[in-house]
Amino acid sequence: MKTPVKPLLILERACDLYQAMGLSIDSLDPRSEFSIYNLGDLAIPQAYQSPVFRAGFFSFVFIKEAWGHYSSDALQFEFKPNTVYFNNPGHIKQFSIREANELYLLTLSEAFLKENVRADIFDEFPFLLCEIVPPQKLQPKDFAEFEALYLQIQTAYHSGSAYRHKLIGHLFVAILLKLKEKLATDCSPVKQNGRAFEIVKKFKLSIEKHYRELSSGMIEKAHRVQEYADILNLHPNYLNAVIKAKTGKSVGNWIAEKTIAEAKSLLKNSDIPVKEISYRLGFAEIQHFSTYFKKHTQSSPVVYRQGA
């Protein structure tokens, strides 16, 4: 008799990850789109191995004193003290920790990036879109520069300040600039071969470009699956099947998440009227946009803009 195959875990937020690890973090809001914790403080047993999962969030890992391995899709990596690495959404992951004393895990969503870091985040930092970058073992003095930044982020996160997310955003820009510098000098993203990986890469670049143009008012009509398929010269069913298989989300899910991320960014970072935002994002009626936004965020656009 065949052993039943466990379904792949889909983890949309950091709280889902910690729950899957059997950890309880009372201070973590289940709705939070940002978190930072030292796994060394969370009583993770030695020789811990995570379930296999697909995450819907970005994760940045800063390892001062820990040892273990992780996988991203079919690629295997080792981590050790003074290591820095990141993972973007969509890849199938697993990690094992032999010992963790200081291992800081920082997680955040695309919406958080666009609201609190930069609306055009992927223009300046395109490596966030679709690359797998191997972990970087740094010299202690180089790691200390990252450490100073992520500890400031942790302080801001737990400060309770009304401006803490903006403070985190500014500090996180410095982390991204340092990562960009490392990518330009000391390492290269891992090349993933195959037609499916190329399709995913082109799709992510295409949807990001489209939503930049849409939110800036350069174009008026939001793409649907057929338009993305036309751009990539593929049948829409085939495109959807590839994107679903490689990222865990259908093209429709990508469109919905991108629409909400852009809407949040425009609501928080501009004074453009809600009616104009709804039009820019492809909604003929403001009521349709409000209903759509509330379905995905449990908040109306007006209430969200007010910070409630």
Domain boundaries, the chain: 9-185, 195-305
Burial class (CB in 10 A: 0-12, 13-18, 19+), 82: buried
* Number of Cβ atoms within 10 Å of the Cβ of 22: 10
CATH of domain 9-185: 2.60.120.280
- Tell me how many helices (H) and strands (E) the chain has: 13, 9
Spatial distance between the Cα atoms of 237 and 142, rounded to a whole number of angstroms:
47
Those residues of the chain that have pLDDT short of 50 are: 1-3, 5
Cβ 183 vs Cβ 135: under 8 Å: no
pLDDT score, position 188: 55
At the top level of CATH, which class does the domain 195-305 belong to? Answer: mainly alpha
**pTM (predicted TM-score):** 0.78
Q: CA dihedral in degrees (159, 142, 189, 262; nearest 10)? A: 20
pLDDT for the residue 2: 47
Using one digit for the tens of pLDDT, what is the confidence trace for 270-302?
A: 888 999 889 888 888 899 999 999 998 888 999
pLDDT at site 184: 63
